Structure 1
Amino acid sequence: MTEPASCAEATEIACEAWTPIASALLGNVDWLPGAYGLPPLRGQLRVAPEDFLVEEVLGFEPDGEGQHRLIHIEKRLLNTSEVADALAQVAGVARHAVGYGGRKDRRAVARQWFSVDLAGREEPNWHAGLAALLADRLRILAVVPHRRKLRIGTLAGNRFQLHIRNVQGDREAAEARWQQIMAGGVPNYFGPQRFGEGGSNVSRALAWFAGGRPPRRSQRDLLLSAARSALFNQLLAHRVKDQSWDVARIGDVLQLEGRGSWFVYGPDESADEIAVRIRDGELHPTGPLWGAGESAADGAVRALENGLVATYPELATGLARVGLRQDRRALRVFPREARFCWQDSGLMLSFTLPPGAFATTVVKELLHPDGPDDASLSNHGVVLD
């Protein structure tokens, strides 16, 4: 296992770039800088769960045969774990026999896919069983046989429809900002759901890494994800501040749009060609999802990333020690199939994002939340992977 360099060992330039913040703030997304300046609007998001609709894009056709059942549901005021627990109970199977492609928040209406491995068991009465447990908070849209378990990362994306109420601000500026977002994308921050109530999962991960009591299996992945996400958000915030989040620098790891494949931008590449492909959204700069091993970046970009993990060695070392491997995540994301529509005193937004991207990163550039539902953009859990 490769330990992160200390600041004394990292380059002077890289370490000067980082000023550590308190661990309690690492899971807070409110301070993260926007790409285009202050948002032009104020308003209320998710006054009712129906104001925030998310629908998973499965990306493949069910097999139509097999021992698993793909179950398409619509839920409100339920989180993903509660639905998975109910499905396991109705089917009479262990909880690990239930799969899903992404977690969705309680305070929303979500159309989501689950899988259940029946493994030779008789088909239960899904409608009656779920109605008895969850009443009108869930309805079944489809049940289809399938050969494989549904796992995190198998979705093609998520479609969002958001109703923002009591909108105030400069509508002309908001329309111009929306055009900026469509043309340039938004910083691909991890949203507040990733960090738990009040952003506490990063502190809990640090306590575990320091020798505290290991978390339950159901909590382990959540804490590891929060720790990784906090480091990524720090890196991205730095690059937003220095306006390099949407440009390629020599040494950057560039990811192809819509694919996981990437390459390191070296001095032999055509700078003009790379710049055009970045502008057209074909390539994206990436940041590290930390784990064992070295940063894939090169030169000054690698030094910056090493400076980050040298500033937070407990997080970096803890992630490497549990066996997570290095990965990359695009620094920006583009909303697709987007629509922007004023409705009297409100605003309707709809768009599609790739898996792992958060709708709140789009809204953040446009809207400052007002009123008691400020939690919709703060660390009380939001959609949305």
Structure 2
Amino acid sequence: MTASALPDWSRLHGAPLGHARFRVTPEDFQVEEIMPFTPEGEGEHLWLWLEKRAMSTPVLVRHVARRLEVAPRDIGISGLKDHGAVTRQWLSVWLPGRETPERLAALLALEDGATRVALLDHARHPRKLKRGVHLANRFRIELREPEASESALDDRWQQLVTQGVPNYFGPQRFGVGGDNISRALRLFERGWRRRDDREGLLLSTARSYLFNAVLAERIDQDCWLTPLAGEVFNLAGSASHFTAESPDAELSERLASGDIHPTGPLWGRGETAACGVAAELEQRVIERHPLLRAGIEQAGAKPARRSLRLMPEAATMVNGHEGVSVSFTLARGGFATAVLRELITHEQL
């Protein structure tokens, strides 16, 4: 397996509707983090609601650390946001015994060519912001000069919103040209060690690849939304899972309504939650990638599950003079590229 061999994972809704210009400017791709609560107003941690342009989240963390004279480890984030975009997210900064700095907005502001940072709001909170706390992300994306007609785009969009899309990990997870998967394989050949993959990026990449492979197989076998014996289901809008050894009409109805979603494996060492036919299908796919499987298990990753279906919520499509603007909300962990690749063709998708 090489970077150039990264698959074009199977699509659900047919071939994309032609090419469109995508991310012409950072403003064409906007993301806003949605949290389940607001800061309480007091505590040792200063929470910052920041907008960044053309900057990655790790670089934003280092910028804030320098300006507020703290260690990067004392800064908390919930999720990573795209580099080539305009994004809004919360950061927390541990400031024990320190008052909120004066002229905080000016202190954190940055204008350097295409790169920009602006403070939109701030508040105190007793606890550090932890990874994965946010509920969802809201996207607004401009698709310029699409080749397809307005009616064709609108029809396909309604399909995606109603039926959902395959919940693939997006190409950004695999690096430029899919290089992260090749790096993961080289690391696994030597033997995975934490010091060689401190953030767990390559391990996560390998697990993402296997998940995508299982999802693509389910689409190819036309059983993406068919309840299989031994299926593990995810209750929509929650982290709850349950296994159904013998699917019935009620489960099929709940699946069709979007109340539950089938799941696929985030591979790890130990027993999988799936059984029966579902487990057999997953096992067949995983066995096609023995180096990835062995490397993940040797690293001691714990098995987990991820929904196979991604539902765009509060979705809109608006026609403009240069193309179309789409807006939608995705649950935490969902990739906007998983939605767009079912709609248009672009090298980034």
TM-score strictly above 0.5: yes
Structure 2 counterpart of 1:250, from 229, 234, 246: 229
3-state SS of 1:181 partner = helix
Which residue of 1 is the match for residue 52 of structure 2? 75
Structure 2 counterpart of 1:93, from 70, 75, 85: 70
Which residue of 1 is the match for residue 155 of structure 2? 176
Which residue of 2 is the match for residue 5 of structure 1? none
Q: 1:357 to 1:213 in 2, by over 3 A?
A: closer
Is the deviation greater in 39-48 or in 305-314?
Answer: 305-314
Q: CA deviation at 1:341?
A: 1.3
Q: 1:326 to 1:67 in 2, by over 3 A?
A: same
Q: What code does the residue aligned with 1:292 have?
A: R
Which residue of 2 is the match for residue 105 of structure 1? 82
**Contact kept in structure 2, 1:41 and 1:174, CA below 8 Å:** no
Which residue of 1 is the match for residue 130 of structure 2? 151
Is the deviation greater in 342-351 or in 212-221?
Answer: 212-221
Which residue of 1 is the match for residue 220 of structure 2? 241
Which residue of 2 is the match for residue 296 of structure 1? 273
Which residue of 1 is the match for residue 296 of structure 2? 319
Q: CA deviation at 1:42?
A: 2.2
3-state SS of 2:254 partner = helix
**Contact kept in structure 2, 1:341 and 1:347, CA below 8 Å:** yes
Structure 2 counterpart of 1:127, from 85, 105, 128: 105
Which residue of 1 is the match for residue 325 of structure 2? 348
Q: Deviations over 1:179-202 (max 9, x none)?
A: 211211000000011112221111
Q: Does 1:368 align with 2:345?
A: yes
CA distance in 2 between counterparts of 1:274 and 1:213 reads 40
Q: CA deviation at 1:295?
A: 1.6
Is the deviation greater in 85-94 or in 159-168?
Answer: 85-94
Q: 1:122 to 1:296 in 2, by over 3 A?
A: same
- Counting matched residue pairs gives 347
Q: Show structure 2 runs of 5+ residues with no match.
A: none
Q: Does 1:166 align with 2:122?
A: no
Instruction: Using the aligned pairs only, state the percent identity.
Output: 41
Structure 1 counterpart of 2:253, from 247, 254, 276: 276
Q: Show structure 1 runs of 5+ residues with no match.
A: 1-21, 378-385
3-state SS of 2:146 partner = strand
CA distance in 2 between counterparts of 1:150 and 1:220 reads 17
Of structures 1 and 2, the one scoring higher in RCO (CA 8 A, sep 6+) is: 1
CA distance in 2 between counterparts of 1:364 and 1:302 reads 28
CA distance in 2 between counterparts of 1:63 and 1:77 reads 30
**Contact kept in structure 2, 1:208 and 1:215, CA below 8 Å:** no
Q: CA deviation at 1:103?
A: 0.6
Q: 1:41 to 1:341 in 2, by over 3 A?
A: farther
CA distance in 2 between counterparts of 1:25 and 1:235 reads 20
CA distance in 1 between counterparts of 2:205 and 2:17 reads 30
Q: CA deviation at 1:122?
A: 4.2
CA distance in 2 between counterparts of 1:51 and 1:133 reads 19
3-state SS of 1:137 partner = strand
3-state SS of 2:262 partner = strand
Q: Deviations over 1:259-279 (max 9, x none)?
A: 111111122x5x111111000
Which residue of 2 is the match for residue 116 of structure 1? 93
CA distance in 1 between counterparts of 2:53 and 2:70 reads 24
Q: 1:89 to 1:234 in 2, by over 3 A?
A: same
Q: CA deviation at 1:113?
A: 1.0
TM-score of the two chains, using structure 1 as the length reference: 0.85
Q: What code does the residue aligned with 1:179 have?
A: Q
Q: What code does the residue aligned with 1:50 have?
A: E
Q: Deviations over 1:268-319 (max 9, x none)?
A: x5x1111110000001000000111122111121112122222222222222
TM-score of the two chains, using structure 2 as the length reference: 0.94
